[in-house]
Amino acid sequence: MKSLIDPVVALAEEAGRAILEVYSSDFDVQSKEDESPLTKADLASHHCIVAGLEALTPGMPIISEESGLPEFDERSQWDRYWLIDPLDGTKEFVNRNGEFTVNIALIDKQKPVFGVVHVPIQDKTYIGCEGYGAERRNADGSRDSIRVAASSAVPVRIVGSRSHRGASLDAYLENLGECDMVPMGSSLKFCVIAEGGADLYPRLGLTSEWDTAAAQAVVEQAGGQVVTLDGKPMKYNAKSDILNPYFFVIGAADKDWLALLPDSE
């Protein structure tokens, strides 16, 4: 699996360049069936990644946000497959705040075992791979091993969604007490946890499996956890729909973060 790292990183970077070409232009925004935004950048990145993965691992199934979801009867037979979000954070892309990513994950037996998260605006890439660990590759070509925080800060450092904040999160933060809450788009929230820049990301709202898989691999290989509200690791391709349950991304493990959930959760 380690032999896949460099070619998949190169593929994510190529997709990032295709995204930035659109980003620097006067692009149009369409709406998908679920009313989420779609741009030429989503599609350019999708075609780039799918073609690259098909050449790299012929015959391995691929699920992309932009290609539709195969029937569960078919995909439930898969042990291994690629799961990609060609442009995670399209709302952030449209708002031109730079907080969007390219996500490529390899799922093996319902678990993300390899993930690449590329940040086009920063030309920075996060990698998590079983047997390799977690790493950040920087714009200047340098590489840093990354690790979650050993203990939580005072006040606790929380990251949360910029576009999807709700009453459940507000109630949780009230229970938590003093904290610094930093809103952020896309899978960047996971990456900040993975590199020790925040302690916790509570997600008490809907996401899809392609939004989280690559970044979950990064967090887990950096020593963190991505767990559902019952404390179990988040799984993939285990049911007919693609929606994730609510979850917590835990960096610092010195507190029982789930115990602070409001009773209604």
User: What's the rounded Cα separation, in Å, for the pair 121 and 132?
Assistant: 26
Which of 204, 185, 206, 228 has the alpha carbon at shortest distance from 94? 185
In angstroms, the CA 6 to CA 74 distance is 30
Q: Centre a 10 Å sphere on the Cβ of residue 53 and count the other Cβ atoms it contains.
A: 22
pLDDT tens, 174-196? 999 899 999 998 899 999 999 99
| Residues 71 and 120 both lie in one domain | yes
Entry pTM: 0.93
Strands 133-137 and 124-129, by their bridges, are antiparallel
Asked whether residue 88 falls in the same domain as residue 62, the answer is: yes
Name the residue among 60, 34, 33 with its Cα closest to residue 49: 60
* Residue 183 parent element (H or E): strand 179-184
Q: Which residue range forms the structural domain that includes residue 182?
A: 156-260
Residues of the chain with pLDDT under 70: 27-38, 162-165, 264-265
Packing angle of the helix pair 40-56, 5-23 (nearest 10 deg): 160
- Residues 218/113, Cβ–Cβ less than 8 Å: no
CATH for 96: 3.30.540.10
Of the three residues 113, 145, 177, the one that is the final residue of a domain is: 145
Same domain, 141 and 162: no
Q: Residue 63 to residues 81, 123, 135, 252: CA-CA distances in angstroms?
A: 8, 25, 25, 32
Whether residues 210 and 92 share a domain: the answer is no
Q: Which CATH number is 188's domain given?
A: 3.40.190.80
pLDDT digits (tens, 9 = 90+) for 215-264: 999 999 999 999 999 999 999 999 999 999 999 999 999 999 999 998 74
